[in-house]
Structure 1
Amino acid sequence: MTQEPATPTPDWGPFGKPLFDDPKMRALARVGVVDVGSNSVRLVVFDGAARSPAYFYNEKIMCALGAGLSETGRLNPEGRRRALSAMRRFAALSDSMGISPLTVVATAAVREAEDGPEFCAEVLAETGLKIWVIDGDEEARLSAQGVLLGWPGAHGLVCDIGGSSMELAEVRDGRVGKRLTSPLGPLKLREVKGGKAGRKAHIKAVLEDMHSWLGPQRDRLFLVGGSWRAIARIDMERRAYPLHVLHEYRMTATTIRDTVRFIEESDLEKLRQRCGLSEARMSLVPLAAEVLKRIISTIRPKDIAVSSYGIREGMLYEQMPREVRERDPLIEACRFAESKDARLPGFGRRLYAFVLPLFRNLPDERKRLIRAACLLHDVSWRAHPDYRAELTFDNATRAHLGGMRHWERIYLGVALLHRYRNKREGTHFEDLFNILSEERQGEAEVLGKAMRFGAMLWIHGHEDAAELRWFPKKKQLELRLAPAAAPLFGEVAEARFKALAASLSAETSVRYLSA
């Protein structure tokens, strides 16, 4: 059996030219948004690659503006005082960061309170910040757009719970479809008459009406909002799940029912402390759990994913042109990291072409991870050599990266760990490896060792100086070296080539090509 040489990779591959090379895209590099919610007021400053921004600054104040709104018709006075103080601080911060003006939206509490317009006027007078009060339909749309920021191809139903309301919105083919709002926020549920039985009947009636209007929703359910994230964190605690990253955390109907029962049977204060939740957030969890249990039994989704992206990310998504929205958030984030931190920006693309023959038959979803790993292979070079392997694993598995499932985070982390060391045993990450199947662990190890070897073949201006050929049936790994690359294949490079072959259980051969 013989193998044809690898097909040359197009200049930028299937992902197109990096966004941050375009001055128009750099205008999105730092954007500040404020969400004035019924329970909290939060400032987020996004920074980085236009399609996959990092969280440059993130601050939340639990104000409970919507507490008591159903009874008084007005904003909670203490919450209003705290919210105004937070807005003064956020305005000063934005000025110091040079990102004024902030984009500010307010949701259910401010739009429903009789003194909502007065509060907005007060904020404008004291801070210069204009608050855009959005209706429930717009709130649902922005939350769904936040999900699309993290999952460009998302299909399913977005469920965003705030303090005073809960929104549902369809997403499909990169667009937001039907959406509607409801009074199922925990602060509102506190005021429903009849105790738990009264709440149960109320929640059931509202959700059945929503479901009837939306029609069947059997795809994925995306959970957005602090109360859902708190329940997911408790689910992690109950299951002893090792990776405490809430974005893309998956649950099932069964695990949710088990966790709701776990919450009902637990000492809430002890549970709060174990999970690192605030008192204000934990006070809403039992009410939100009642809603979630009914949602699952009413909608019966195929699966359930937690989204850390919501209305604030949706506000950023709103500013993106369509060509940016359609980009892969993971690849754009990795490209940005390479351009900013690698010693030789651009080499990741060449490294991907070099290692690709080992993974020719993999599906595109895994080739995407291979490309991401190659882009990130050198961004941690400033770290002490003894800690690079663990640092790269930690960054890959815990960073704010969209478009990655948990197993993909571990895959990327294992590959980057092996970029710097041959063995993964002996690290304090071993409990995380079980999230990844043994087959994929082995595949990620091969990728890491291939990058470790390929990184030694830096030759500027010689794209095809070195080439790998892989014959899986023969278990034969061949290295072809052009004259320009031959001097680079010294003792250390040869040892890394053999380590790569050992991971493949392969024999090696080296061919030196003539000029």
Structure 2
Amino acid sequence: MIIEPDAPGRIAGYGPVAVIDIGSNSVRLVVYERMARSPTPLFNEKVLAGLGEGVATSRRLSDASVDKALSALKRFAALCRQIGVVELSVLATAATREAENGSKFIAKVRDICGCDVTVLTGPAEAYYAALGVVDGFEIPEGVAGDLGGGSLELTNVRGSRIGDGETFPLGGLRLKDDSGGDLKAAKKIARAALENSKVLPHLEGRTFYAIGGTWRSIAKLHMRQTGYPLHVMHGYTLETDRSRDFLKSLYRQPVASIDSIDAVSKQRQPLLAYGGLVLSELVRAGKPARIVISALGLREGFLYSRLPAEEQDKNALIAAARELCFLRSRSPAHSEELIAWTGDAMKALGIDETKEEERLRAASCLLADIGWRAHPDYRGEQSLNIIAHAGFVGVDHPGRAYLGLSVYYRHSGLSDDELGPGLREIVPTRYKERARALAAIFRVAYLVSASMPGVVPRTTLRRTDNELKLVLPPDLIELAGGRLETRLKQLAALVGLESRIVTDG
């Protein structure tokens, strides 16, 4: 009998869909697999065309930057045809809306791309960038700031509520032009502009969500200098009290002399100082508790705005984990069954969970079997690497560590002997303890079910006095054996209990 697979390499849906973002510094194409709560990029390419360079003084897009941008757009349009994009959206920002010849440029873009071009106002830029933060973080609480080549947008964000946005001419290229390349003058311009902000007074003690290529480069540099073990940009956090000197170092010395500057691309280096001083002045004025990097911004916010309400309401992390489960697990249905079963098991063990820990446990259940095709000796290591570095959003770095460790321990055993020091540096002890407990539950469940659906819901982990019992129905009692007894004993030992396999017949 030939069994047809039910998990293709790509997930069907409305797509591929693409967004071209024509910014003041870069022109970027991102093609996404489909319209979804957690969209997966199929293709991503940018060209630093520098459209905004000189616009502040000349009021025109230079011929050289226009030629470079149009050349990139011709390639992007061809790529969209080649990939089979069903819908292309083209967004243009500060440089094109401010330049006198911007409308002429937009007409050429329209001809090349074969679709309308949306020239965003400053408030619209701020709104979609903030919506990208709503899309990418679990209940965000703070201010979203999007720094481009021409402008800075600031917007207050509380959960899914977005306040009125404001825009400032503080993008790297614009600030360089306005200051004549003098960093001291640039700092004065930034400070004067931000003193008029109506959003920053609401930032004190909260989170600043930093969006934009220059700020991502700054975070990458900080990662390199501090030896941070998880090289994932989204959710990377800089505590402001510890980062002030670092930010000042970006504009108080020549770029070439900055420690580990090779971590930043040569194309990005010229604007690093301007991005650093704007962020430094923003921290001074707004007094946030922390700076968190967002890999999602304008493009993702725009796509999120077009999702149906029921899709927007989905949890981004769970949606992404469910997709990976569908693509890589032996039985997605079995993974779904584990969510309720492991929750009951945690209660039986007397291990309390916060709402966030319940959410992380659910995601872990969906990811627990994605490494089954790997060699048995390396399933834990490979699963940990995939999960820790996956393109997930809606989860912070300690949460990533929880997810990765729970699956690592499931395959490699409950010991840390072969675990490198990296993730242990960023995972809280509480998360680590719960990841180990969840892994021990997995190790029992998968021996009972052999990864097949319809089995674990018929079994129960039950605690009585000082004993943890695995209760099997009569027709499954033959699954009991030495290996399962050992796994159950390991699980019970985590909370100081004895163990036994029994039947309810």
Q: Report which stretch shifted further, 372-381 or 351-360.
A: 351-360
| 1:190, distance to aligned residue in structure 2 (A) | 0.9
Q: Counterparts of 1:119 and 1:299 in 2: how far apart (Å)?
A: 37
Partner of 1:379: helix, strand, or coil?
A: coil
SS at match of 2:447: coil
| Counterpart contact for 1:231–1:285, Cα < 8 Å | yes
Supply the distance in 1 between the matched residues of 2:109 and 2:259 (Cα, whole angstroms): 33
Q: Which amino acid aligns with 2:273?
A: P
The aligned residue for residue 106 of structure 2 is 120
TM-superposed CA distance for 1:343, in Å, is 1.1
**Are positions 1:369 and 2:356 aligned together?**
no
1:493 aligns with 2:481: no
Q: Give, as a single letter, the amino acid of the residue that structure 1 aligns with 2:412.
A: R
The alpha-carbon deviation at position 27 of structure 1 amounts to 4.2
- Bigger CA drift: 225-234 or 270-279? 270-279
Change (3 A) 1:424 1:81: farther
1:295-374 superposed matches below 5 A? 295-360=282-347, 361-374=352-365
Evaluate the alpha carbon distance shift between residue 119 and residue 429 of structure 1 in structure 2; reply closer, same or farther with a 3 A threshold.
farther
The answer as to 2:64 corresponding to 1:78 is yes
| 1:427 positional shift | 4.2
Are the counterparts in 1 of residues 221 and 264 from structure 2 also a CA contact under 8 Å? no
Deviation at 1:326, TM superposition (A): 1.8
- TM-score by length of structure 1 reads 0.89
Q: Is the 8 A contact 1:178 1:214 kept in 2?
A: no
The 1-side partners of 2:30 and 2:369 are apart by 29
Find out whether 1:251 has 2:256 as its counterpart: no
Structure 1 residues 491, 157: closer, same or farther in 2, change over 3 A? same
Pick the aligned partner of 1:287 from 264, 274, 290: 274
1:31 paired to 2:17: yes
Please tell me the root mean square deviation across aligned C-alpha atoms, in Å: 2.3
Aligned residue number for residue 466 of structure 1: 459
Deviation at 1:109, TM superposition (A): 0.9
Counterpart in the other structure of 1:18: none
- Segment drifting more, 387-396 vs 268-277: 268-277
Cα deviation for residue 347 of structure 1 reads 0.8
Q: 1:42 to 1:408 in 2, by over 3 A?
A: same
CA offsets per residue over residues 254-291 of structure 1, 9 Å max, x none? 22312123334666346586553211211111111111
Supply the distance in 1 between the matched residues of 2:100 and 2:63 (Cα, whole angstroms): 13
Equivalent of 2:469 in 478, 484, 490:
478
Summarize the Cα distance change of 1:466–1:434 in structure 2 as closer, same or farther, 3 Å threshold.
same
Contact conserved, 2:145 with 2:211, CA < 8 A, in 1?
yes
Residue 62 in 1 paired to residue 48 in 2?
yes
Q: Which residue of 2 aligns with 1:138?
A: 124
Which residue in 2 is equivalent to 1:151? 137
Give the letter for the 1:306 counterpart.
I
Contact 1:417 1:424 in 2 (8 A): no
Cα separation, 2, equivalents of 1:67 and 1:120: 17
State yes or no: 1:179 paired with 2:165: yes
Match of 2:379 among 377, 388, 404: 388
| Paired amino acid for 1:109 | A
| Inter-partner Cα distance in structure 2 for 1:179 and 1:249 | 24
Q: Is residue 415 of structure 1 aligned with residue 406 of structure 2?
A: yes
Task: Write out per-residue CA displacement over residues 459-487 of structure 1, whole angstroms, 9 at most, x where no aligned residue.
Answer: 6445642111246xx55322111123222
Per the normalisation by structure 2, the TM-score is: 0.91
Of 92, 100, 107, 1:106 maps to: 92
**1:444, 1:48 → 2: CA distance?**
32
CA–CA distance in structure 2, aligned partners of residues 241 and 41 of structure 1: 30
Report the secondary structure of 1:241's partner residue.
Answer: coil
Distance across 2 between alignment mates of 1:478 and 1:154? 41
Deviations 1:314-342 (A, max 9, x none): 11101112222121101111112222221
- Is 178-187 or 436-445 further displaced after alignment? 436-445
Change (3 A) 1:74 1:288: same
How far apart are residue 496 of structure 1 and its match? 2.3
Unaligned runs of 5+ in 2: 1-6
Amino acid at match of 1:291: V
SS in structure 1 of the partner of residue 374 of structure 2: coil
Q: Is 1:403 the counterpart of 2:394 in the alignment?
A: yes
Aligned equivalents of 1:335 and 1:370: distance in 2?
A: 13
- Whether the 8 Å CA contact 1:355–1:468 is kept in 2: the answer is no
Instruction: Judge conservation of contact 2:409–2:436 (CA < 8 Å) in 1.
Output: yes
Match of 1:9?
A: none
SS at match of 1:393: helix
Distance 1:436 1:461, change over 3 A: closer
- What is the aligned partner in structure 2 of residue 15 from structure 1? none
Shift of 1:35: 0.6
CA distance in 1 between counterparts of 2:318 and 2:473 reads 30
Q: How many matched pairs?
A: 488
**Aligned pair partner of 2:429 in 435, 438, 445:** 438
What does residue 455 of structure 1 align with? 446
Cα distance in 1 between the residues matched to 2:61 and 2:86:
27
Q: Tell me if structure 2 keeps the 8 A contact 1:32–1:43.
A: yes
Partner residue in 1 for 2:79: 93
Q: Distance in 1 between matches of 2:160 and 2:138?
A: 6
Amino acid at match of 1:392: S
**Is contact 1:84–1:123 with CA below 8 Å preserved after alignment?**
yes
Selected match of 2:154 from 156, 164, 168: 168
Q: Tell me which residue corresponds to 2:175.
A: 189
The 3-state SS of whatever aligns with 2:21 is strand
State the AA in 1 paired with 2:459.
A
- Structure 1 moving runs of 4+ over 6 Å: none
CA distance in 2, matches of 1:407, 1:466: 32
The one-letter code matched in structure 2 to 1:397 is A
Pairwise CA distance, 1:423: 4.4
Identity of aligned residues (%): 34
* Equivalent position amino acid for 1:111 in 2: R
CA shift in 2, pair 1:487/1:379, >3 Å: same
The answer to whether the Cα contact below 8 Å between 1:120 and 1:130 also exists between their aligned partners in 2 is no
Show CA shifts across 1:479-501 (max 9, x none).
11112322222333233223323
